[in-house]
Structure 1
Amino acid sequence: MTSLYDHAGGAEALHHLEEIFYAKALADPVLRALFPHRVPTHVDHLTWFTAESFGGPDRFTRELGFAYIIDVHRGLHITEEQRERFVQVYLESLDEAGLPDDERFRAAVREHVEFGSRVAQQNSHAKTDDDLHPLREVPRWTW
């Protein structure tokens, strides 16, 4: 079966998606606290993470490592409103990026973003390592 990565259109399509999402997040009044200013590497890092999650190259793991994403979210204190808005903006970005709109693909992406946003939210409130979500590697998402 084709990977989510290939079905989405590969690295170029995912990079385009992350550019759209990131611009929307920077401008969003609910997400602005989590994305207060443009970070030049953010789109690339998002692209690498999504690509690897969807069955593409493991560049995120090789170049950054999963501890990086834990550290990025720690101390952000992501609210439920912010988490829900993140998911909504991400899913809206799929349409703007022209990614496939078939039901199976969209359901898999929604599950991935819902799961990832909950992991990030938990890690954002962790006071100790024991409070962190147990996930320690980029999850491989499939159909």
Structure 2
Amino acid sequence: MTSLYTHAGGEEALRKVEEAFYAKVLADPVLKSLFPQRRPHHVDHLSWFTAESFGGPDRFTRELGFDHLIQVHRHLAITDEQRERFAELYLEAFEEAGLLDDEAFREAVRSHVEFGTRVAQQNSLAKTDAELHPLREVPRWTWERDSEPEKG
């Protein structure tokens, strides 16, 4: 079966979605405290993570490593409202790109962002390493999802 990465149109298509998404979060009053200013490499990092998670190249792992993701979320204290808004804007960016017409793909993207925002929120609230989510690698998303990603 075609990977989610290929179905989405590859790196270029995902980068366009992430650019649109990032513009949304930077302008959003609920997310302003989490995204106070544009960071030059944020779209690249988001694109690499999504591409790898959807079955594309492992550039995020090779160039940044999963610990980078844990560290950028530590101590952000992401609220439920912020987590839900992030997920809403993420899906909106995919919708606006015309990528959510396929119901199975829509469900995969939805479950991907729901899982990811829950991991980020847990890590953002962790006071100790033991309270961090146990995930230590980029999750691999497929067409049929349940609550947990595949390993490597």
How big is the shift at 1:64?
0.2
Tell me how far apart the structure 2 counterparts of residues 134 and 71 of structure 1 sit (CA, whole Å): 14
- More helix per residue: 1
| Other-structure match for 1:19 | 19
Tell me how far apart the structure 1 counterparts of residues 64 and 99 of structure 2 sit (CA, whole Å): 26
| Other-structure match for 1:94 | 94
| Other-structure match for 2:109 | 109
1:43-76 deviation per Cα after TM superposition (whole angstroms, max 9, x unaligned): 0000000000000000000000000000000010
What amino acid sits opposite 2:71 in the alignment?
D
What amino acid sits opposite 1:32 in the alignment?
K
What is the TM-score when the length of structure 1 is the normalising length? 0.98
Question: Contact between 1:53 and 1:138, CA under 8 Å: does it hold in 2?
Answer: yes
Query: 1:1-143, aligned counterparts within 5 Å?
Result: 1-143=1-143
RMSD value, Cα: 0.6
Please list every run of at least 4 consecutive aligned residues from structure 1 whose deviation after the TM superposition is greater than 6 angstroms.
none
Relative contact order higher in (CA < 8 Å, ≥ 6 apart): 1
Tell me how far apart the structure 2 counterparts of residues 13 and 61 of structure 1 sit (CA, whole Å): 20
Q: Percent identity?
A: 76
In structure 1, the gaps of 5 or more residues are none
How big is the shift at 1:96?
1.8
How big is the shift at 1:95?
1.9
Which shifted more, 86-95 or 113-122?
86-95
Tell me how far apart the structure 1 counterparts of residues 26 and 7 of structure 2 sit (CA, whole Å): 27
1:82-121 deviation per Cα after TM superposition (whole angstroms, max 9, x unaligned): 0000010110111222324210000000000000000000
What amino acid sits opposite 2:98 in the alignment?
G
Tell me how far apart the structure 1 counterparts of residues 56 and 71 of structure 2 sit (CA, whole Å): 23
What is the TM-score when the length of structure 2 is the normalising length? 0.93
